[in-house]
Amino acid sequence: MTSVGPPIVRRRRSRISWRATAIALASTVVVAGGLAWVVVNAPGWAEVQTDFLNGPIFWASLPGLIAAFGKNVELFLIAELLILPLGLVIAVMRGLPGPVFFPVRLLATVYVDIFRALPGILVIFILGFGIPGLAIDGIPNDPFFWAIVALTFIYAAYVSEVYRAGIESIHPSQDAAARSLGLTRFQSLRHVVLPQAVRRVVPPLLNDFIGLQKDTVLVSFIGVVEIFRTAQIKEAALFNFTPYLAVALVFIVLTIPLARLTDWLVARDKRQRTAGSAR
Amino acid sequence: MHKTTILSIGLIAVLAAACSGGAASPSAAPTSAASATPAAVVSTAPSVAPSPSPDACAAANLTLTTSGKLTIATDNPAFPPYFAENADGHKTSPWALGDPTNGQGFESAVAYALATKLGFTKDQVAWVYIPFDNSFKPGAKTFDFDINEVSFTPARAQAVDMTDGYYVVNQAVVSFAANPIAKVTSIAALAPFRLGAQVGTTSYSTITDVIKPTVDPRVYDTNDAAIAGLKGKQIDGIVTDLPTAFYMSGAQLTKGTVVGQFAAPTGANAEHFSLVLAKGSSLTTCLNGAIAAITADGSLAAITKEWLSDKASAPVFTP
């Protein structure tokens, strides 16, 4: 992180760096300003402003939307708690070696193939309307329940692939070394491979978590009233699209800090590992 | 890190400047032209709109999306009894269920009656498929007017032109005959049941404002999704307009029933269906005139009787 070299070189570097920053800033102002100018002078700008950027409607709808967002938070927190272990189990199932485990591998592969192939909205529709429609005694028909099941099934497929990539990124010599120390296959997986693998895939896991947060709006299609549906109700009552903008803002406010947290975690992890090797 | 931060700050500053610059003239342009149109006038019987001069509303003088054609929009599928399937079963692309082009069904018949009053022949009427949401999005409209069971509300009339009403609508509850809700006779007794409605409809407002249920209602994208919810016992009943309720109980549900209807609205607050037009459309006054004309000569009443005549047979909820 610290600059190296004699003071004069350092000073020149810093001057070049500041010039680059100034140029970048000027160019950004020109581009962004130009875009803004085009938008503001578009023939439909006034109309778009009333229909999409309506201040009073924005502030009037925001509290209700934030309250409705609680439903989304419930959805993605419960689902994420189920997705992480299920995805890990599927990833381990797919990685089991030997002919005996062929059916297990096949099952896991078919599961991942199917749930990654299906558009999420279809899974939500089929589970949310189809299974309650069978009217089997004892099987819940609450759409909230089926929303969580559907999101868990969809995202566990993606997350299992992330885990699998992590597991496969661990060099086979790690496993071999562990086995040569007398650890069983399971012990080696549990104590040597998985701890390293999971640490490596934290950023892509958080990436999928952000995807999950956004996909919670899909469950509105089976009748769960959450933030998107609440915005839609307001939109249709007023014939004004501003509530959607408020929804967008809520998601941005949620996901951007999470993205920065991911960056920070990755940087910290890298620092800790390289600090060890530099000594 | 340093540079990115500075760049981001610069970008935000520019955007903020752009936004505040725009916000200086919040609602100036789009609403000013529209205040001249009497779309906000609510009345059960359509008022006779004073047209500027008889000629302005003649077919040849109207400003149309496609010149020489009256382009009418509705959603697809177009459901009975507002639209009707062709007797011989043939479909006109893109219409999946009811065929607006055949003049059968309540809204199709009304649309053609209005077109005739304006001086269009049947061949000069073109239909386009416009999803409900798209009928009021900003930007140029691809239709002259939209006829899609859209209920008039003053808030909606801020965004688009809405004509005088062509049908006074009342809401109803539909369910399975076997569901306990089927025995309900009063609005108060509906409150403990889980109800569903299509998003953005006045049916939904009926649940929240009139029934005030003790359990949260479920809200669906379409009435078909609501029916799926009803079949999955996720809701006890669907609130929808009465003609649709009869179509649901008769054609879409086995052993379905119309539990009851809400007392027919009267007076200035009566809920009515209006045609939707672009804000400030020159056609609005002409259509109000045409609606007044088909009301005065009895043809609207005849069309209503022909297509929506089941009305009497559903019990009215007591408060």
Successive 10-residue mean pLDDT values, chain A, 279 residues: 58 79 92 90 81 88 92 95 96 90 94 94 91 83 92 96 94 92 91 91 90 93 90 85 92 89 83 67
**Residue B10 and residue A28: Cβ atoms within 8 Å?**
yes
Phi, psi of B129 (to 5 degrees): -90, 115
Q: What is the DSSP letter of A147?
A: H
- What is the pLDDT at residue A208? 92
Chain B residues near residue A237 by CB distance under 8 angstroms: 153, 155-156, 200, 205
Residues of chain B with pLDDT under 50: 1, 14-49, 51
Q: Which pLDDT belongs to residue B3? A: 54
Which residues from A are below 8 Å from B158, CB to CB?
Answer: 238-240
Which chain B residue lies closest to A146 (C-alpha atoms)?
B234
Query: Vertex B257, ends B200 and B174: CA angle to 5°?
Result: 15
Distance from chain centroid for Cα B255: 28
> According to the model, what pLDDT value does residue B53 have?
55
CA B110 to chain centre: 14
Which residue of chain A has the CA closest to B197?
Answer: A223
Q: What is the pTM of this model?
A: 0.73
Check CB contact under 8 Å for B158 and A32.
no
Task: Characterize the bridge pairing of strands B218-220 and B195-198.
Answer: parallel
Chain A residues within 8 A of B22 when measuring between CB atoms = 40, 45, 49, 53
CB contact under 8 A, B233 and A132: yes
pLDDT at A171: 92
Q: Quick one: pLDDT at residue B12?
A: 54
pLDDT of residue A203: 87
Tokens at A34, concatenated: 């130009």
Q: How far apart are CA A147 and CA A65, in angstroms?
A: 20
| H or E element, residue A18 | helix A7-40
Q: Which residues of chain A does B19 touch, with a Cβ-Cβ cutoff of 8 Å?
A: 53
Angle, in degrees to the nearest 10, between helices B2-23 and A45-52: 100
Q: Do A240 and B3 touch (CB under 8 A)?
A: no
Q: Residue B26 has what pLDDT?
A: 35
CB contact under 8 A, A50 and B30: yes
pLDDT of residue B89: 84
